[in-house]
Amino acid sequence: MRDKQAVEAYKADIKAQLTRAGLIRGQPRSSMLQAQAAAATGPMRTRPMNTHRYSAPATTTNSPSNSPSLGLGLDFGFGISPYMDPHHLRHEVLLPGVPGASNPHFHQLPAASFSDPHLNDLDLNCSYFQSPPVATLPNLGLDSNDYDISSVVNLHQHQTNGGFEFNVHAPPELNFPVVSNQNSIQENHVMYYFENVRSAHFLFAGNTTTNVVYSLIVQEPRGAVTNAVCALASLHFTRKRVAEGLEAPDPNPDHSTAKYFYDESYFQLANAQQIRGQYNESDVIAALHLVYFSQMSGGSMDWMPVLSIALDWLSQIGLPDEEDPRSVLNTMSLSAQIAVKGTMWIDIFASLTSMRPPKYFMLYQRLLSHSAWSADVNPSHPQALPMETLTGCPDDALLAIAEISALAHWKSMERIKGTLNYRELIHRGDIVEQRLRQRPDTPVFEKDAPLHPNLLQPSITDVIFPNEEVRKLLASIFRATALLYLHTVLHDSNPGVSDISVSVDGVVQLIHQLQPSNVDRVIVFPICLAACMTDDLIHRDFLKGRLQAQDESIGNLMKARLLMEAVWQKRDVSGGTVDWRETMRDRALNLLLL
């Protein structure tokens, strides 16, 4: 644990670096705020952002406010967006009293830490949409602390520009409460997270989890959740810009804005237990976001320390020792339920990487087993969120994956001792398969909750939460993948075994039925495992293509593909059995197949 003096020195060094990099002046490298200042001196780019509903205008003309211009550039009040005409923006978007790169008052702001309690308030109702002309705005004065951009948002009608139909519109004008004690840099990153980042990961994409995250930010605007969200936003924005050729990769990512936010959040989590005596569900939600940070960065950060925080919390609340943990879980708050389910989800998939049983395997059995949830049929009793709603993977499939990881570890230990009984191995495998096949005939899928009204509502063209048909298909894919995983443990990683080849064919057939989309990120594990377990070149090309069709700069898709190719190369060159988990360990991929 760092002492106070070391922490202050660390923060002072960070602030100096951020000031030199231009962050305090609204022009940070490796931050979403950098783009605006760069566009002021660079040529305009008309290329739309990938997989984002806010498309760039097809032309860049110096048109007045009544011309058919969308004004959808990501301007946060810190300069000029690269997707808007700079002349048009100069007259219509830069608002008096708002700190920005072109505002003389902006450079007088203190270069304080993001956690300084005396900086600007947060208004989560800020819009990326074009503002009305300055002449039509109320007199805001020069005090940026009193500025509330939600009072000047102008609604836009659907417009056509350059032959493209942009079916987007600003949200209704509402007077939302302002979240105080948060500076404008954090505010911009929080807005970007809710608009762009949450939809990239199923666990955080649903409105239920989004509303919980929003409420935690409101409760603690400078807390670990806020900083974790900001870290993800900065990392996502930077990687998108690098992928689109708008900037070069950061040669020193350890000093990036994203890493600064990550360190702030991690430091808060590291001190939480000492300050409060134990962790709470807010700490766990922040820890899950930091695990996701590692995943989004391609495994550049070690996710085990932050996962350990979530696992320690499970132990502290005593859930593993409860006689009926499911009933206890059903009575927990929504944020605590998400914390439990998210921790269980990541721990089970971490067992694939670490080649060990999930830490609280017995607890997960009681939470996920068919007998546990079928026994509680009283509709008057509170019900916990099903895993399928949060992750796309149904309870029975996730339980099977956990049981198979435990079985694989048992097999490995017995083999090392020279006491492996194959009849016992097959018997245990049969039990897992029978449980997996005892799924409900008519699954019931919960509808996603309404999005919190304080957050910008998605347009009709956005597909964040899959419909029921897609969710049924995802459930079938995970169940088929669990069977494939089981056969790799029972028969080793040999594609020539009929049980394995038939299982691969089944997984591939189901994936063919799923239209290529961002939902493919949910099935990284099924794609990767099926690819590793096949010698069929057609299957290999198809599965590899599904990953390559996504933006590989975001998440762990590239490392998953590298694992597949490493297994193929080793098997094609040397022949014999190639264990995909051992290959992942030997290559030190630090990969979570989520």
3 state SS of 122? strand
Residue ending a domain, choose from 274, 302, 320: 274
- pLDDT, tens digit, 9 for 90 and up, residues 112-132: 333 444 433 444 433 333 333
% of the chain beyond a pLDDT of 90: 49
Mean pLDDT across the stretch 122-146?
Answer: 34
Domain that holds residue 245: 4-274
Q: What is the pLDDT of residue 88?
A: 34
Listed in order, strand segments (DSSP E) in 43-132 are none
The answer to the question of residue 394 being in a domain is: no
| One-character DSSP codes across 468-500 | HHHHHHHHHHHHHHHHHHHHHHHH-S-TTSHHH
Q: What is the pLDDT of residue 371?
A: 52
Domain count, the chain: 2
pLDDT at 27 over 60: no
Residue with token string 């956005």: 462
The answer to the question of residue 313 being in a domain is: no
Mean pLDDT across the stretch 359-374?
Answer: 82
Structure tokens at 3: 């002492």
Q: What is the pLDDT of residue 250?
A: 85
pLDDT at 134 over 80: no
- pLDDT, tens digit, 9 for 90 and up, residues 158-207: 333 333 333 333 333 333 333 555 567 888 999 999 988 988 888 888 88
Mean pLDDT across the stretch 138-153?
Answer: 32
E strand or H helix that includes residue 165: strand 164-166
By DSSP bridging, strand 164-166 and strand 159-161 are antiparallel
Residue ending a domain, choose from 232, 257, 274: 274
Q: How many CB atoms lie within 10 A of CB 541?
A: 11
The answer to the question of residue 483 being in a domain is: yes
* Cα dihedral across residues 295, 297, 303, 307: positive or negative: negative
Ramachandran category for residue 178: left, alpha or beta (phi over 0 → left; psi -120 to 50 → alpha): beta
Q: What is the pLDDT of residue 369?
A: 86
DSSP H helical ranges for 422-467: 422-437
Mean pLDDT score of the chain? 74
The answer to the question of residue 411 being in a domain is: no
The answer to the question of residue 267 being in a domain is: yes
pLDDT at 49 over 50: no
% of the chain beyond a pLDDT of 70: 63
Residue with token string 């309690």: 117
The answer to the question of residue 417 being in a domain is: no
Q: What is the pLDDT of residue 441?
A: 52
B/e letters for 166-205, b = 16+ CB within 10 Å, e = fewer, are: bebebbeeeeeeebebbbbbbbbbbbbbbbbbbbbbbbbb
15 band by pLDDT with thresholds 50, 70 and 90 = low
- pLDDT, tens digit, 9 for 90 and up, residues 302-324: 999 999 999 999 999 999 999 99
Determine the Cα–Cα distance for residues 297 and 556; give it in Å rounded to an integer.
7
- pLDDT, tens digit, 9 for 90 and up, residues 262-277: 999 999 999 998 898 8
User: Smallest Cα–Cα separation from 224: which of 309, 312, 316, 118?
Assistant: 309
Listed in order, strand segments (DSSP E) in 287-431 are none
Q: Which residue has the higher pLDDT, 104 or 480?
A: 480
Residue with token string 């490995």: 412
13 band by pLDDT with thresholds 50, 70 and 90 = low
Q: Please list the residues that pair with 166 across neighbouring strands.
A: 159
**What phi and psi, each to the nearest 5 degrees, are found at residue 462?**
-80, 135
Residue ending a domain, choose from 274, 299, 319: 274
The answer to the question of residue 316 being in a domain is: no
Mean pLDDT across the stretch 386-395?
Answer: 89
Lowest mean pLDDT among 57-66, 536-545, 582-591: 57-66
Q: What is the pLDDT of residue 17?
A: 54
The answer to the question of residue 303 being in a domain is: no
pLDDT at 75 over 60: no
